[in-house]
Homo-oligomer: A and B are copies of this chain.
Amino acid sequence: MAVNMSVSMKIKDSIEQSSWIRKMFEEGAKLRAEFGAENVYDFSLGNPDLEPPAEFFKALKKMADSTATGMHGYMSNSGFMDVRNSIAKKVSKEHNLKIEGNSVVMTCGAAGGMNIILKTILDPGDEIIAIKPYFAEYGFYVSNHQGVLVLVNSNDDFSINIDAIEKAITPKTKGIIINNPNNPTGKIYKEKEIDQLCNMLKQKSSDNRKIFLISDEPYREIVYDNREVSPVLSKYVNALVVNSYSKSLSLPGERIGYVAVNPDFDKFNLLMDGLNLCNRILGFVNAPALMQRIVAELNDSKVNVGIYKKRRDILMAGLKEAGYEFPEPEGAFYLFCKAPGGDDIAFVKHLQKYNILAVPGIGFGGPGYFRIAYCVSEKVIEKAVPKFKDALASFR
């Protein structure tokens, strides 16, 4: 009898399933208490540690000094029109397709954007495909709106396996999520892969059935070695882009991001009405007003990606030298490392003996690997490298 609980059956299960994450946090806290925070190497959290860039603080002070009225009031559920127009200019450049502000909905970060899209498009039982390894929150987002998440394998190098996706498509497939650059692998899907994916989706679509492409791109601006992230909106008509300023401007706590849509999307006006309505009724109502106004002025600003690059380089060199194997991270701030021996949970537990905290790949649908989030100081990485070496040497 369900009524004798303070939470629903589903939420109770979810709390229990995520209890291993809590255990890891508790393990980290225990290690910090025992050895001191400076002697614990916590690579478990994708929490950007860089401060926002100077331009952000300049814009914030300007807004704080503003005497304009209505700065903190309601606006359209999709956001201030001038803000949406500004974001449209940025997206037009990135996606090589001219869009206007009416193609943009301001959201409470990428997580808010994903939820309003899925709430808008999903009928109960509709399927959404995602590529392993994947950002595990997608499972919740799809389930929130009575959809079914269908996971497909990537190729061995974590590139998109077009055949696997094609085989996973059923009459119930409503869309596919790609996360580019990818969390947890740090890989960027190449433009050629995106082309192939879009071509296949075009073939699978007809007048009676469209498959939507949802490109989740919060790490679009965190890329290395002059790499670029492929446009998507210009390549596929039924495409939606989700982005946030959590990483590019280091504003994860402020919950500001957006959804952008190809203006030729099937029944575009109905879709935009749906996104607007879902932003309202899911309880977001609108993206925070002050942050909307600030990010609208910062189209050309981002954090110093060179800092993340330097950390990546130190970590890569150290792990390689120690004998670890991994694909080179091309973007985001994650390194997805092969677990020596093949059992990622066992190896992550072993790393804890060296005060190193990482996340088993199985949580991302990538068993046999573990994720190292290198959004920590260079000093922590430098001190951790010899520990990684010792851990590998002692692991049987």
Contact = CB atoms under 8 A, between A and B. Distances in A.
A156 interface: no
Interface in A45-91: 47-49, 51-52, 56-57, 60-61, 63-65, 69, 71-75
Nearest to A266: B6
B6 A271 contact: yes
Given A47-B73, A288-B288, A114 B283 contact: yes
A278 B282 CA distance: 12
B288 A14 contact: no
B253 A7 contact: no
B123 A8 contact: yes
A366 B71 CA distance: 33
Interface in A112-158: 112-116, 119-123, 126, 137, 140-141, 144, 146
A114 to B, nearest CB: 6
A258 B269 CA distance: 34
Most chain B CB within 10 A, of A48, A51, A280, is at A51
A284 B253 contact: no
A254 B7 contact: no
Nearest to A60: B64
A96 to B, nearest CB: 23
A7 B123 CA distance: 8
A50 B8 CA distance: 40
Given A47-B74, A61-B65, A73-B48, A281 B137 contact: yes
A33 interface: no
Given A72-B250, A108-B284, A144-B281, A120 B289 contact: no
A6 B121 contact: yes
B6 A282 contact: no
A63 B291 CA distance: 14
Interface residues of A, number: 87
A15 interface: yes
Given A4-B209, A6-B274, A65-B61, A288 B291 contact: yes
Contact of A3 (B1, B114, B208, B290): B208
Contact of A281 (B14, B64, B123, B207): B14
Interface in A256-298: 265-268, 270-271, 273-274, 277-278, 280-291
A7 B120 contact: yes
A11 B278 contact: yes
Given A109-B283, A114-B283, A137-B281, A289 B253 contact: yes
A255 B15 contact: no
A250 B123 contact: no
Nearest to A75: B253
A18 interface: yes
B69 A282 contact: no
A60 B290 CA distance: 11
A334 to B, nearest CB: 16
A220 interface: no
A126 to B, nearest CB: 8
A123 B9 CA distance: 7
A210 interface: yes
B69 A51 contact: yes
Contacts of A265: 6
Nearest to A73: B253
A111 interface: yes
A371 B281 CA distance: 21
A5 B253 CA distance: 35
Interface in A351-381: none
A315 interface: no
A340 interface: no
6 contacts: A3-B208, A6-B210, A15-B270, A52-B72, A115-B282, A288-B288
